[in-house]
């Protein structure tokens, strides 16, 4: 098991945060530094110090991985469009490909519904159009004929036993919902190219943590993240990051889910490599 | 107990979905088919196939009933106004009366608060005004003097024993909240004409499932739906439908609530007619 | 223990509500009375009667305290901007200082994330600018060097043993999250001037109740409210108020948390003075 990243130096939080914010905003003098001057200048300082200097500067997930997690969470929440735009721009600024961002937003449909995905894609379109350096052609995949088999294979790789249990538990009450999870969720969405399974699970952990309404699914997908090569430290980092975007209760409840999942894996004896 | 609707044919999902989408959008060539062409064309296909071909085409609730459930859920979520507008238009296109839509949105105030209801009514006003074929005059009911008695009678019809328990449990800590639920919730809102109790409970199940923050209330109102003549199959259908509008975790957690409610009713021996 | 406020007279609900609405809206003829005339006139009446005549007219928290709780909740929900604007104006109309409103919105960042706080501040800025009578200069506090010690002292005053337990429970899985809660949550935010601890905890109870995703934190901060001089009756009032802004399920689940917290305190024998 990787250790949780060590504590960053308490000094220089503002400078460290400002450097990260410059990278994300793609400008030497980010607007965020001044935008609250007339109403809450301290919150601008606290944003730089805490959101960027404490959290986004932490080791573990890279800045592009962190931006994709933030984009997924804000898209799922659906109530913070200015920040979603800022972080889609931010993802592009730190090197995410437009296609990765689009795949994350398609993935959002599974966990927060189609309206959340569609509204976020509207924001992404505006972000892409505002950048002459972006030359984006969407990937298309044709409709598959083996959706069920492909989905079953992917579900097994991601969720293993826990995923099988979810499907089995639906058999007596809503079997078609189980079939849709396999066919649509895993056969159509998870199996798409352009975003690897580890990135999909990082986005899923971010979304389920931020939404705060999906505790059982958060546990299934913490297992999923670890099953596809993610680490416990990564999981903790993404959950902690959600304190910035959805508040401390969301992060604390996410940690509670992680503690339970880690204990389950320790009991099974399979956690040694995480 | 009605059986859960059988699986739709896996083939022709796109054609079946496109037909439903044409009915909902009221046009031969729905804009949704092209609107994502530049950024995520596959998501347009997946929307047609899954949201319309798999889910909204299912047997059980009629298309107007499904539209009202979607309108209730999107109004309660409050963060997907373009889709709320689309589905208010859709409800009109499949034959819902404007008055029914307004009643559903007034009903939303109980489960998601007045702001959610008021903002959704603003969207409904725009939708109605854009249609010269709509000639809508709102129904008004005068303030009742027997709100408590009327509310108590309606509460008893809808929630039976479970409703009485909710009120009784408030007696020692917030008795006035219990009184408001009877007087305002059931005396003022549930007793209004223009939307029958079964439709109110379908909307309530849709909202509580989509919000994901109202598990105890979802159980009370699954009982309520079954108490006023709804079926188990209807309940499952509306919960599954929420996978489209609020994501799979919302639907899965709704199914968990339904499983518990069905088991309670089986134990009591009263579920034979559902 | 203060008794729960007694039942208001059932008669004159409309007149009582209209008087409160006039105070909040700052006008003799509030727009809300007519704004639904064309689509749902009864909901306007029900808003006056229930939201203002039943709830906001209740004894206990003052109208300014109630407005700040509503502002906090709507900012945290992040999906009802017209109502957030109305109630920021309302807070000013009933005598809240602009600085108090800003402090509440900075406080929101802890419980609903920075995007929620930032978007609410954008609304506050518009509200302040629209009023020539408002001459607001923001307070700034310089970055502290003793954030940890200050935070630890404030955490101890607010959350006592429960707060220590939250931090201790993080030690083996996400110790830095515990440190951030102390340093940023309590050292930076809770220790700011301009809003006393009791008002911060009232806002926190309002937010956690309205969000509906923070049950463990709602319990910790119900203890917190009572620890810093708030009363059980105040806690119940703020929770009931959320029925208006987030729906009855949110209020009912908040009452469930309050019942558990009151029982814990009764067992400890410390509740006699609340």
pLDDT tens-digit series, residues B220-262: 999 999 999 999 999 999 999 999 999 999 999 999 999 999 9
User: Which of A39, A51, A251 is the closest to C121 by Cβ?
Assistant: A39
The answer to whether residue C260 sits within a structural domain is: yes
C-alpha B190/C-alpha B155 separation (Å) is: 8
The answer to whether residue B175 sits within a structural domain is: yes
Q: What is the pLDDT of residue C164?
A: 84
**Both C129 and C218 in a single domain?**
yes
pLDDT tens-digit series, residues A57-83: 999 999 999 999 999 999 999 999 999
The answer to whether residue B25 sits within a structural domain is: no
Q: Which residue has the tokens 């913070």?
A: A80
- Say which CATH number the domain at C66 has: 1.20.1290.10
The answer to whether residue A46 sits within a structural domain is: no
Record the tokens describing residue A231, joined without a space. Answer: 């680490």
Buried b (16+ CB within 10 A) or exposed e, C44-71: bbbbbbbbbbbbbbbebbebbbbbbbbb
% of chain A exceeding 90 in pLDDT: 84
Q: What is the reported pTM?
A: 0.95
Record the tokens describing residue A228, joined without a space. Answer: 């596809």
Q: Which chains touch B (3 or more CB pairs under 8 A)?
A: A, C
The answer to whether residue A19 sits within a structural domain is: no
pLDDT at A273 over 90: no
Size of interface A-C (CB pairs under 8 A): 146
pLDDT at C223 over 80: yes
User: Which of B39, B82, B249 is the closest to A111 by Cβ?
Assistant: B249
Size of interface A-B (CB pairs under 8 A): 144
**Both A116 and A150 in a single domain?**
no
**Both C135 and C199 in a single domain?**
yes
Q: Which chains touch C (3 or more CB pairs under 8 A)?
A: A, B
pLDDT tens-digit series, residues A223-272: 999 999 999 999 999 999 999 999 999 999 999 999 999 999 999 885 55
Q: Which residue has the tokens 């905003």?
A: A25
Task: Average the pLDDT over A169-197 and give the result.
Answer: 95
Q: Which of A4-13, C58-67, C88-97, C140-149 has the lowest mean pLDDT?
A: A4-13
Q: What is the pLDDT of residue A7?
A: 55
**Cβ of A240 and C121 within 8 Å?**
no
**Cβ of B211 and C77 within 8 Å?**
no
Task: Average the pLDDT over C115-134 and give the result.
Answer: 95
Task: Average the pLDDT over C74-94 and give the result.
Answer: 98
From C9, which residue of chain B is nearest by alpha-carbon distance?
Answer: B176
Contacts of residue C184 in chain A, CB cutoff 8 Å? 46, 49-50, 54
Contacts of residue A208 in chain B, CB cutoff 8 Å? 249
From B181, which residue of chain C is nearest by alpha-carbon distance?
Answer: C248
Contacts of residue C180 in chain A, CB cutoff 8 Å? 50, 54-55, 240, 243
pLDDT at C8 over 70: no
From B9, which residue of chain A is nearest by alpha-carbon distance?
Answer: A176
**CA end-to-end span of chain A:** 4
Q: What is the pLDDT of residue C273?
A: 65
% of chain A exceeding 70 in pLDDT: 95
**Cβ of C255 and B125 within 8 Å?**
no
**Both C72 and C171 in a single domain?**
no
**Cβ of B47 and A114 within 8 Å?**
yes
Confidence of residue C155 (pLDDT cuts 50, 70, 90): very high
Cα–Cα distances in angstroms (integers) from residue B268 to residues B198, B218, B264, B265, in the given order: 22, 19, 6, 5
A165 Cβ neighbours under 8 A, 6+ residues apart? none
Q: What is the pLDDT of residue A4?
A: 33
pLDDT at A144 over 80: no
pLDDT tens-digit series, residues C183-196: 999 999 999 999 99
- The closest of C96, C101, C100, C14 to C57, measured between CA atoms, is C14
C-alpha B178/C-alpha B172 separation (Å) is: 10
User: Which of C39, C249, C251 is the closest to B125 by Cβ?
Assistant: C39
Domain that holds residue A176: 146-185
Q: What is the pLDDT of residue A212?
A: 98
pLDDT at C178 over 60: yes
User: Which of A14, A51, A248 is the closest to C110 by Cβ?
Assistant: A248
**Both B129 and B223 in a single domain?**
yes
Record the tokens describing residue C176, joined without a space. Answer: 């830095």
**Number of structural domains found in chain B:** 2
Residue A153 exposed, middle or buried by CB count within 10 Å (0-12, 13-18, 19+): middle
**Both B123 and B216 in a single domain?**
yes
Q: What is the dihedral of CA A199, A204, A205, A206, to 10 degrees?
A: 90
**Both A134 and A75 in a single domain?**
yes
Q: What is the average pLDDT score of chain C? A: 93
Q: How far is C10 from chain A (nearest CA, A)?
A: 37
Per the model's pLDDT, the better-predicted residue between B237 and B271 turns out to be B237
**Both C167 and C88 in a single domain?**
no
Among the candidates B126, B158, B185, a domain finishes at B185
The answer to whether residue A119 sits within a structural domain is: yes
**Cβ of A109 and B247 within 8 Å?**
yes
Contacts of residue A77 in chain C, CB cutoff 8 Å? 78, 115
pLDDT at C270 over 90: no
Q: What is the pLDDT of residue B142?
A: 83
Confidence of residue C103 (pLDDT cuts 50, 70, 90): very high
pLDDT at B6 over 50: no
**Both C69 and C89 in a single domain?**
yes
**Cβ of A236 and C140 within 8 Å?**
no
Tallying the residues shown for chain C, one arrives at 274
pLDDT tens-digit series, residues B120-159: 999 999 999 999 888 899 989 987 789 999 999 999 999 8
**Both C159 and C263 in a single domain?**
no
Q: Which chains touch A (3 or more CB pairs under 8 A)?
A: B, C
pLDDT at C166 over 90: no
pLDDT tens-digit series, residues B192-227: 999 999 999 999 999 999 999 999 999 999 999 999
Q: How far is C181 from chain B (nearest CA, A)?
A: 25
% of chain B exceeding 70 in pLDDT: 95
pLDDT at B3 over 70: no
User: Which of B39, B79, B259 is the closest to A173 by Cβ?
Assistant: B259
A240 Cβ neighbours under 8 A, 6+ residues apart? A55, A58, A251, A255, C174, C176, C177, C180
pLDDT at B272 over 60: no
Task: Average the pLDDT over B74-80 and give the result.
Answer: 98
Task: Average the pLDDT over C23-52 and give the result.
Answer: 93
The answer to whether residue C32 sits within a structural domain is: no
Q: What is the pLDDT of residue A8?
A: 67
**Both B82 and B180 in a single domain?**
no
The answer to whether residue A29 sits within a structural domain is: no
Contacts of residue B180 in chain C, CB cutoff 8 Å? 50, 54-55, 240, 243
**Both B69 and B169 in a single domain?**
no
């Amino acid at each position: 098991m990787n250790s949780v990243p060590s504590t960053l130096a308490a000094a220089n939080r503002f400078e460290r945060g400002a450097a990260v914010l410059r990278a994300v905003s793609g400008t030497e003098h980010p607007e965020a530094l001044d935008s609250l001057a007339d109403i809450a200048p301290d919150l601008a300082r606290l944003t730089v110090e805490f959101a960027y200097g404490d959290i986004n500067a932490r080791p573990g997930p890279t800045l592009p991985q962190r931006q994709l997690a933030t984009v997924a969470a804000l898209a799922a929440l659906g109530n913070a469009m200015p920040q979603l735009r800022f972080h889609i721009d931010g993802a592009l600024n730190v090197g995410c490909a437009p296609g990765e961002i689009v795949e994350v937003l398609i993935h959002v449909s599974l966990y927060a519904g189609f309206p959340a995905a569609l509204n976020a894609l509207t924001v992404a379109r505006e972000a892409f159009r505002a950048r002459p350096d972006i030359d984006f052609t969407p990937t298309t995949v044709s409709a598959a004929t083996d959706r069920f088999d492909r989905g079953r294979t992917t579900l097994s790789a991601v969720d293993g036993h826990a995923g099988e249990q979810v499907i089995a538990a639906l058999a007596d009450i809503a079997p078609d919902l189980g079939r849709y999870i396999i066919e649509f969720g895993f056969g159509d969405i998870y199996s798409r190219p352009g975003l690897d399974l580890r990135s999909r699970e990082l986005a899923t952990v971010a979304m389920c943590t931020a939404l705060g309404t999906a505790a059982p699914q958060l546990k299934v997908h913490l297992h999923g993240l670890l099953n596809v090569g993610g680490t416990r430290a990564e999981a903790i980092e993404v959950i902690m990051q959600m304190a910035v975007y959805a508040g401390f209760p969301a992060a604390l409840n996410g940690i509670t889910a992680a503690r339970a999942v880690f204990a389950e894996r320790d009991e099974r004896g399979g956690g040694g490599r995480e």
